[in-house]
Structure 1
Amino acid sequence: MGTDILIYLGGLALLDTLSPTIIGVTLFLILTDKKNLTSRLFAYLFTVALLYFSLGIIMMLGLNFIIETFSNIFQNKIVSWVIFIVGVILFTASFFIPANKQSNIPKPKTQSIFSIIIIGITTFMIEAGMALPYFAAIGLLTTTNMPFYQWLPIIAVYNIIMVLPALLLFLGYKLFGKWINPTLVNLRNKISSSSSSTLSWIMCIVGVILIFYTKDYL
């Protein structure tokens, strides 16, 4: 696998760190549940990362099977054209995302770990259908024809990067405590009111990445 695709995958992973739901839930827990924060936050992040990791494996196996089965029909050039067209569609559609100031961030109803796990599953269900950087990364990985033992750790690292901002927020709170509380409150308010704007930017950047990745293979 070349350096160029690693750069694209790294860029897509960084885009996935902008997840308003994961960051929003993390901020909610930090600001409202200081007693059981560590156990509940790590249970939440582990649930989300595990579900995304499982989805990545399923998608990789499924896409690889399809490509191998229809290798004589879907040649690399046709696959590149499909990825290119998807990139153009995402880039164009990003300019037509309607503004939505209503918060879609789920909140746990009880203090139990089970409630947090349910929130993790809810986060996955909310964002899995819009995880455009993740889908794009899986699509790019399938074009490299890497064996299982090579792409599996890449997906694992990708998911660790995805939840890294939440871990950094947690670390920052543990180190600086009440000093950064006002900043965290302001950040939570901004995230709650700008999820549609974030989605628009993500769609735009993912579209550009897909276009630039495939333009040399058309």
Structure 2
Amino acid sequence: MTLFAGLVVLALIDSTSVGTLLIPLWMLIEPRLRVGRFLLYLGTVTAFYFVVGVVLTLFAGTLREAVGDLDALSWAELVLGGVLFALSFVFEPKRVRRRRGDVTLASRWQARLSTAEGSRSAMVGLGLTAAGIEVMSMLPYLAAVGLITAAGLSVVSWLPVLAGYVLVMVLPALVLLGVRTALGTRVEEPLQVLSAWLSRHAEGVLGWVLAIAGFLLVRDAVVKLELIG
């Protein structure tokens, strides 16, 4: 249960990224909602993350068997978690905004979305681009792969766990789609407020993502190594 609780927390953190929430939110606040394009985009993102997760978990499992020493892996997990937590202070929102200048992360992705909405193939391309770029910085996802690998689950066990993780990642976007479909323009203003808030805070999101992912890795390693109690 501790493993699953940690995975749910990490998946919900991943669900707040530009690719999994902000881009879908921009699609929902458009006057004409294109449900097919929305689901095509989100399905592309979901499939991409699942395939990447399978590859990473298989690789991590092979590495785990090669190393063999579970204590050594737990110490490595502890060090990695500490490093991630320390790095979170580097990505303080004001510092990130100063480094990026006037061109914000949100404005760049909005431009890509407006270009891609013309065709289905372009939406698939946008989904692959968003997932491909963000997977390198979505440390909760990498941390989740680490937790699954460290648990020593068989392939039959971790495949549905990984699939569930990816589905939780896109669940908030699907819930918002259901709300938008059911209530129509009545939820347009709240969705616009949420979109504006997420756009303003997209620059500094990596900091708290690093902090939470680092904390969960440290906690898992501490429990395995029995450093407390």
Fold similarity call, TM over 0.5? yes
> Structure 2: which 5+ residue stretches go unaligned?
none
1:95 to 89, 94, 98: 89
Any runs of at least 4 consecutive aligned residues in structure 1 with deviations exceeding 6 A, and if so which?
none
For 1:85, give the aligned amino acid.
V
Deviation at 1:119, TM superposition (A): 0.8
Deviation at 1:108, TM superposition (A): 4.1
1:195 to 176, 197, 202: 202
| Partner residue in 2 for 1:133 | 140
Cα 1:86–1:33 shift into 2, 3 Å: farther
1:9 is the counterpart of 2:7: yes
Task: Give per-residue Cα distances to partners, 1:180-203, cap 9 Å, x unaligned.
Answer: 111111222222221132221111
* Aligned ranges 1:1-218 → 2 under 5 Å: 3-32=1-30, 34-35=32-33, 37-71=34-68, 75-97=69-91, 98-100=95-97, 102=104, 103=106, 104-105=108-109, 106-109=112-115, 110-218=117-225
Deviation at 1:217, TM superposition (A): 2.8
For 1:78, give the aligned amino acid.
A
Deviation at 1:33, TM superposition (A): 6.0
User: What is the TM-score with the length of structure 2 in the denominator?
Assistant: 0.87
Alignment check: 8 A CA contact 2:54 2:159 kept: yes
d(CA) in 1 for partners of 2:96, 2:160: 37
> Structure 1: which 5+ residue stretches go unaligned?
none
d(CA) in 1 for partners of 2:66, 2:20: 37
Deviation at 1:112, TM superposition (A): 1.1
Q: Identity, % of aligned pairs?
A: 28
RMSD over equivalenced CA pairs, Å: 1.6
User: What is the TM-score with the length of structure 1 in the denominator?
Assistant: 0.91
Count of aligned pairs = 212
Task: Give per-residue Cα distances to partners, 1:151-208, cap 9 Å, x unaligned.
Answer: 0000101010000111011111111111111111122222222113222111111111
Deviation at 1:27, TM superposition (A): 1.7
